[in-house]
């Protein structure tokens, strides 16, 4: 049986790099070196200077390429470093079509940095293919998507977008951070470059900031490698090792967290204080059918809407298990408040337009016991109820009704 035939979870453990070829080490050796001795004046070895290449980083890069089904992977010092470097493929005069609810850092890069270099852009609702077609220009070089999107988990049809891109001779970049290749493989659906914040599910333990890019073909891969070396935002070897260590359990973590997310989503739907739940695994989620045609699971991130910011405050103060933080995709459940965190820089009107109401919370399910989480949420909702009652009583007192 060849290793190519292995299932994804087996490949995470047994791949071309599961054993170090020189020493037999089953954990990838960390090569702490900035340069490599050349044994011959005329013939340099495979490695010369560590920004250009390092055996530890190679293992991570080749592993992620294999897992995403691409030809070349590249590791960067953060997700934003990977994304920024990929955008360096563009030149002055090019145009980018970008999903309107893209990650905040990507929004900032395109709207505040790339524009200074003469790269034009339009934000578009990529769930609407007609709008994508309408906003394409002859000089559009990249369509950039994220699906499910953050934080209301809107679904974009990856294959359809890739087809539109191909007809117009431009690339499709997909930020696959939310699902990872464990659940979704954009390159197989026609995308040209897959990008990751490996800070999230891929490493999975809230202990490293890292980014990955994978190219579908050799030419793009070589161009990205050239830019990686030129720009220089490479991932250090210790961090490469941490990402590799996290990767081995990616599949079991995703599976477990996804199950918890599903059960929490169903639970939250029944809570009177919750106005809406966003999760692709729910029957009523918009785009659910498209989602399951291109992904093997709904993922571990969900969002839900409470009455207002007061209810959010009560809830956040009362929950005990999830950490309240920016980020997602970790062993611990992470609760975040997009209005004041990821989308704080966005004007209120733009925020509301994207469904990011003042009562919206995002939860990334971790690996805790689901019943414990539900119990914790239950006591937090009790707090909201008590606070609401108190507010009503106070109002009644003010009115002189009591």
Ligand X SMILES: *Cc1c(COP(=O)(O)O)cnc(C)c1O
d(CA 176, CA 78): 14
d(CA 185, CA 188): 6
Q: Where are the alpha helices (DSSP H) in 174-214?
A: 180-183
Q: Which residue in the shown chain puts its C-beta closest to ligand X?
A: 79
- Our finding on whether 354 is near ligand X (CB under 6 A) is no
Q: Which range of residues in 74-82, 246-254, 290-298, 390-398 is near ligand X by CB under 6 A?
A: 74-82
- Our finding on whether 197 is near ligand X (CB under 6 A) is yes
Site for ligand X in 207-226 (CB under 6 A): 209, 211
Report residue 265: phi and psi, to 5°: -60, -45
**Least distance in angstroms from the C-beta of 195 to ligand X:** 7
Nearest Cα residue to 82 out of 243, 252, 206: 243
Residue 200 is among the residues annotated as catalytic for this protein: yes
The token pair that represents 237 in the structure block: 């070897």
**Least distance in angstroms from the C-beta of 293 to ligand X:** 21
Residue 103 is among the residues annotated as catalytic for this protein: yes
143 touches 172 (CB < 8 A): yes
Judged by beta carbon, residue 136 or residue 334, the one nearer ligand X is: 334
Residues in the interface with ligand X (CB under 6 A) total 14
Of the candidates 72, 103, 171, 192, the residue annotated as catalytic is 103
The single residue among 59, 67, 75, 80 that binds ligand X, judged by CB under 6 A, is 80
- Our finding on whether 150 is near ligand X (CB under 6 A) is yes
The single residue among 200, 291, 343, 362 that binds ligand X, judged by CB under 6 A, is 200
Helix (H) or strand (E) holding 347: none
- Our finding on whether 105 is near ligand X (CB under 6 A) is yes
What DSSP character marks residue 111?
I
d(CA 305, CA 303): 7
Q: Which range of residues in 65-73, 114-122, 192-200, 231-239 is near ligand X by CB under 6 A?
A: 192-200
Separation in Å, CA 327 to CA 78, 151, 207, 264, 291? 13, 12, 11, 19, 23
- Our finding on whether 177 is near ligand X (CB under 6 A) is yes
Q: Which range of residues in 28-36, 151-159, 195-203, 378-386 is near ligand X by CB under 6 A?
A: 195-203
Phi-psi sector, 153: left (phi>0), alpha (psi -120 to 50), beta: left
Q: Is 229 exposed, middle or buried (0-12, 13-18, 19+ CB in 10 A)?
A: middle
Judged by beta carbon, residue 150 or residue 260, the one nearer ligand X is: 150
Residue 11 is among the residues annotated as catalytic for this protein: no
Residue 278 is among the residues annotated as catalytic for this protein: no
Of the candidates 72, 200, 253, 351, the residue annotated as catalytic is 200
- Which positions touch ligand X (CB under 6 A)? 78-80, 103, 105, 146, 150, 175, 177, 197, 199-200, 209, 211
User: Could you list the active site residues?
Assistant: 51, 103, 175, 200
């Amino acid at each position: 049986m060849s290793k190519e035939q292995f299932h994804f979870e087996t490949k995470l453990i047994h791949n071309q790099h599961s054993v170090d070829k020189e020493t037999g080490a089953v954990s990838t050796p960390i090569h702490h070196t900035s340069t490599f001795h050349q044994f011959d004046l005329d013939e340099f070895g495979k490695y010369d200077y560590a920004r250009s290449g390092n055996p530890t980083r190679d293992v991570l890069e080749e592993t992620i390429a294999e897992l995403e089904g691409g030809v070349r992977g590249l590791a960067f010092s953060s997700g934003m470093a990977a994304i920024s470097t990929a955008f360096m493929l563009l030149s002055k005069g090019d145009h980018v079509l970008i999903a309107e609810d893209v990650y905040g850092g990507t929004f900032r890069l395109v709207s505040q940095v790339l524009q200074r270099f003469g790269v034009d852009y339009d934000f578009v609702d990529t769930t609407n293919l007609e709008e994508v077609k309408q906003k394409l220009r002859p000089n559009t070089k990249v369509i950039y998507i994220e699906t499910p999107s953050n934080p209301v988990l809107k679904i974009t049809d990856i294959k359809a977008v890739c087809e539109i891109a191909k007809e117009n001779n431009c690339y499709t970049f997909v930020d696959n951070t939310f699902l990872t290749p464990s659940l979704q493989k954009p390159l197989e659906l026609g995308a040209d470059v897959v990008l990751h914040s490996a800070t999230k599910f891929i490493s999975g333990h809230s202990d490293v900031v890292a980014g990955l890019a994978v190219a579908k073909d050799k030419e793009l891969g070589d161009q990205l490698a050239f830019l990686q070396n030129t720009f220089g935002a490479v991932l250090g070897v210790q961090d490469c090792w941490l990402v590799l260590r996290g990767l081995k359990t990616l599949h079991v973590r995703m599976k477990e967290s996804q199950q918890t997310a599903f059960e929490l989503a169903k639970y939250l739907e029944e809570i009177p204080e919750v106005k809406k739940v966003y999760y692709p695994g729910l029957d009523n989620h918009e785009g659910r059918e498209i989602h399951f045609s291109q992904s093997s699971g709904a993922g571990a991130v969900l969002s839900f809407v409470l009455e207002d910011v007061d209810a959010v405050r009560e809830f956040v103060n009362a929950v005990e298990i999830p950490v309240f933080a920016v980020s997602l995709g970790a062993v611990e459940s992470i609760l975040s408040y997009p209005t004041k965190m990821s989308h704080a820089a966005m004007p209120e009107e733009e925020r509301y337009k994207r469904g990011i109401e003042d009562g919206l919370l995002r939860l990334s399910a971790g690996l805790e016991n689901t019943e414990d989480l539900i119990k914790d949420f239950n006591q937090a909702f009790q707090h909201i109820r008590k606070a609401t009652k108190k507010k009503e009583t106070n109002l009644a007192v003010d009115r002189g009704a009591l």
